[in-house]
Chain A
Amino acid sequence: MNSLLRIAWASAWHRRLALSLVVLSLALSTFLLLTVERVRHDVRDNFSNAVSGTDLIVGARSGAVQLLLYTVFRVGQPTQTIEYKAVQALQKDPAVKWVLPISLGDTHRGFSVVATTPDYFEHFRYGPRLPLALSEGRPFEDVFDAVLGADVAQQLGYALGQRIVLRHGSGALDTADHDDMPFTAVGVLARTGTPVDRSVHIRLEGMQALHVDWVAGMPIPGAKRTSAQEAKAMDLAPRNVTAVLVGLKTRGAVFAVQRRVQAYEGEPLMAVLPGVTLDELWGTIAQAEQALALMSILVGIVSLAGLMAVVMTALEQRRRELAVLRSVGAGPRWVLMLLLTEGLLVSLSGAALGATAWALVLWAGGPWVQAEYGILLRFGLPTAREATLCLSVVMAGIAASLWPGWRAYRLSLADGLAPRGA
């Protein structure tokens, strides 16, 4: 067996120019398969971690997925606001333990601004039911206090006491900046691996103060600007919020509360279950995921077809070689094993190269993906599924070598010690 391996290796190395192209395309296929699988898995992980602590999300009646995506992940189209009266009504519901109203719409240098109540730091849960913790400073108290998520502080290099200017909307121009009412960073949250890290948290009253001079999405042009001090003296009770995160006393009450919310007479509301809605989301993109996976498999098939073609065409020129092997006692079956071993070596190299590239990209690109998209790609040992994918590539390589191997078997049998041609 050892000699079979050595000869197979020497033989494959001898034809490394043509085979290296096959190895590269197998590596690409493996890379694609592993990347699609890892992204698929981690995105699901990320998303469910972000919503794990919330029983219900209440907002204006729109699409459930849209509400979830906008409220929790700050992506997609904004939803209509709901009145603060609805929040108060929710709070009075007997099954409700806590409510966290949140207001979205402003940004700071690309990061979302979340306006909420001090209860947020006490009741919000993520991941395996973990509470928020502060790595520095304290929660907000003053109208113009801000608590930064871990990524915000790290990427922008902010420390406590930093003055920040918030911007209305998510555009790139500073025309929508609230320059007249800067905020001060008073706390930094510990890393959670959820969209909380990429958010700037302020009080609902602060959000209200920012928009005293605003109407219909823009500052009233030419008008005198209200100063921060003046704003603080005004009535800053929130009138509208984007949505409410709700925690119940018992999880079992979730459907009853959902029905009560649907029946609320003040305005059209809806209550969504985060887990159920996420499943709906995954169902929607399942087809896209399948398309990606199919594409990766197709690349693999093309690579294997290439392997077959390369080995087949080489066989004609190897007939003398096979006769030599025959003369030293290697029978047709040994020749078949030789070709299978060569195929194994090629596909093993391809899979290993692809897996290495995948690990490298994960390690090097993971931080960038997190900064740009907020998705944490875990760099660690492959999951069972990923290992199976790699193994499938190798097995497919051996299977692809069966036909050339069989042909070599027949050739060796027929030619014996006197190969025709070549």
Chain B
Amino acid sequence: MSTLHLSPDTTPNTALLMQGVRFGYTGADAATLNLDRLSLQRGERLMLRGPSGCGKSTLLSLAAGVLLAQKGTVELMGREWAGLSAAQRDALRVDHVGYIFQQFNLLPYLGVLDNVLLPCRLSKRRRERAASVHGPIEGAAAALLDALELPTALHRRPAAELSVGQQQRVAAARAMIGQPDIVIADEPTSALDEDRREGFMRLLLDQCTRAQSALLFVTHDARLARHFERVVELSGVNRVDQGVS
């Protein structure tokens, strides 16, 4: 257990805080990310808009503790990623973060319910929080899927048999089971067609509210901005994009 490192800007309500972060891939000439400050409060919804490219994924990887910044600090729930060992980072990630990819979110050889329950298998905290709401965790998973309007008949099917839209909803359920403190979504609607997009956004935001999870939503689609009270342009915060390295 590392000591709690609380910077002056951290309140107990800060879900994510990135300060003075610089990151460049080894072998690359220039840095990919140069960030002054980015913070996300608990329960807050933030849309980060930017074109598809390395900068976005890098930022999310740093936020989720998969990559470590060369300069600056990244704190999740008040704990700095850099001070933890690899195993501790994996544990912290699954305890507090739900992640949604753009596509290929599910393990094709597991059933829908099993896919949703993955975080519970690896995190005691998530399991307990899921169980506290619904008793057996299968019940919690099923309830989440119902709330996301996934037909009950599909619960036991292999994940590979679902349509893309259905898979994204299952991914959302997995990200939110056990009420993690922050949900990170990497362009989750880009693979969906127009009519599905609205439905997905509505369901996702509903559930985030219910679980009181913060949402860090990254997309290139400006039209989704109307769902969010806070929208940040990536080029506005990443000095690399501004031509400053």
Selected contact of B64 from candidates A327, A330, A332, CB within 8 Å: A327
Cβ contact within 8 Å between B105 and A416? no
Contacts of A329 in B (CB 8 A): 90-91, 93-95, 119, 122-123
Contacts of B109 in A (CB 8 A): 10-11, 13-14
CB distance from B24 to the nearest CB of A (A): 15
Q: Quick check: is B22 within 8 A (CB to CB) of the other chain?
A: no
Q: B66 contacts the other chain (Cβ, under 8 Å)?
A: yes
Are B101 and A324 neighbours in the complex by a CB distance under 8 Å?
Answer: yes
What is the bound-complex CA distance between A13 and B109, given in angstroms? 8
Q: B87 on the interface (CB 8 Å rule)?
A: yes
Q: Is B57 a contact partner of A418 (Cβ separation < 8 A)? A: yes
The residue on A at minimum CB distance from B60 is A417
Question: How many angstroms from the CA of A321 to the CA of B108 in the assembled complex?
Answer: 8
Per-position 1/0 for B85-102, Cβ under 8 A of A: 011011101110101010
What separation, in Å, do the CA atoms of A330 and B122 have in the docked complex? 7
Q: In the complex the two chains form, what is the Cα distance from A6 to B118 in whole Å? A: 11
Whether B67 is near chain A, meaning CB under 8 Å from some CB there, is: yes
**Chain B CB within 10 Å — which of A7, A326, A329, A416 has the most?**
A329
Residue from A13, A328, A333, A417 in contact with B118 in the complex, judged by beta carbons closer than 8 Å: A328
User: What total of chain A residues lie within 8 Å of the partner, measured CB to CB?
Assistant: 24
A326 to B91, CA, bound (A): 11
Residues of A within 8 A of B201 (CB): none
Q: Does B45 contact A (CB under 8 A)?
A: no
Measured CB to CB, the closest approach of chain A to B64, in angstroms, equals: 6
A residues near B91, Cβ cutoff 8 Å: 329
Q: Find the residue from B66, B67, B174 having the highest chain A CB count within 10 A.
A: B66
In angstroms, Cα B90 to Cα A30, docked, is 40
**With A328-B174, A417-B60 given, is the CB distance from A3 to B101 under 8 Å?**
no
Q: In the complex, what's the smallest C-beta–C-beta distance from B50 to chain A, in angstroms?
A: 15
B11 within 8 A of partner (CB): no
Q: Mark B69-92, 1 if CB is under 8 A from A, else 0.
A: 000000000000000001101110
Judge whether A418 and B61 touch: CB under 8 Å. Answer: yes
Residues from chain A with a CB closer than 8 A to the CB of B64 are: 327, 417
Cβ contact within 8 Å between A328 and B122: yes
Contact with B along A393-422 (1 / 0, CB 8 A): 000000000000000000000001110000
What does the 1/0 interface line of A312-356 toward B look like (CB < 8 Å)?
A: 000000001101111111111110000000000000000000000
Q: For A9, give the chain B residue with the smallest CB separation.
A: B109
Q: Is the CB of A327 within 8 A of B67?
A: no
| Cα-based distance from A331 to B90 in the complex (angstroms) | 6
Given contacts A328-B174, A329-B122, A417-B64, contact A14 B87 (CB under 8 A): no
How many Å from the CB of B110 to the closest CB on chain A?
5
Q: How far is the CA of A11 from the CA of B160 in the complex (A)?
A: 13
Quick one: which of B86, B106, B114 contacts A324, CB cutoff 8 A? B106
> What are the residues of chain B within 8 A of A333 when measuring CB–CB?
86-87
Tell whether B121 is near chain A: CB-to-CB under 8 Å.
yes
B228 at the interface (CB under 8 A from A): no
B110 touching A327, Cβ below 8 Å: no
Compute how far the CA of A330 lies from the CA of B118 in the bound complex, rounded to whole angstroms: 10
Task: Assess the A7–B104 pair: CB atoms within 8 A.
Answer: no
Partner of B107, one of A321, A334, A417: A321
Roughly how many angstroms separate A72 CA and B123 CA in the complex, as a whole number? Answer: 71
A2 nearest in chain B by CB position: B121
Nearest-CB residue, chain A, relative to B56: A418
Shortest beta-carbon distance, A167 to chain B, in Å? 67
Residues 151-191 of A, flagged 1 when their CB comes within 8 A of B and 0 if not, give 00000000000000000000000000000000000000000
Task: For A323, give its contact among B86, B89, B101 (CB under 8 Å).
Answer: B101
Asked if A417 and B121 sit within 8 Å, CB to CB, the answer is no
Q: With a CB–CB cut-off of 8 A, which chain A residues contact B123?
A: 329
Residues of A within 8 A of B101 (CB): 320, 323-324, 327, 417
The docked-state distance in angstroms from the alpha carbon of A332 to that of B89 is 12
> In the bound complex, how far is the Cα of B66 from the Cα of A7, in angstroms?
22
A51 to B40, CA, bound (A): 89
Within 8 Å by CB of A326, from B66, B87, B119, B186, lies: B66
Q: Which residue of B lies closest to A12 (CB)?
A: B109
* Cα–Cα distance between A333 and B95 once the two chains are bound (Å): 18
Beyond A328-B122, A417-B66, 12 additional contacts (C-beta under 8 Å) are A7-B107, A10-B107, A10-B110, A320-B104, A327-B99, A327-B101, A328-B94, A329-B90, A331-B90, A333-B86, A417-B61, A418-B57
The 10 closest A-B pairs by CB, nearest first: A329-B94, A14-B109, A327-B99, A3-B121, A331-B90, A416-B66, A320-B104, A329-B122, A418-B57, A10-B109
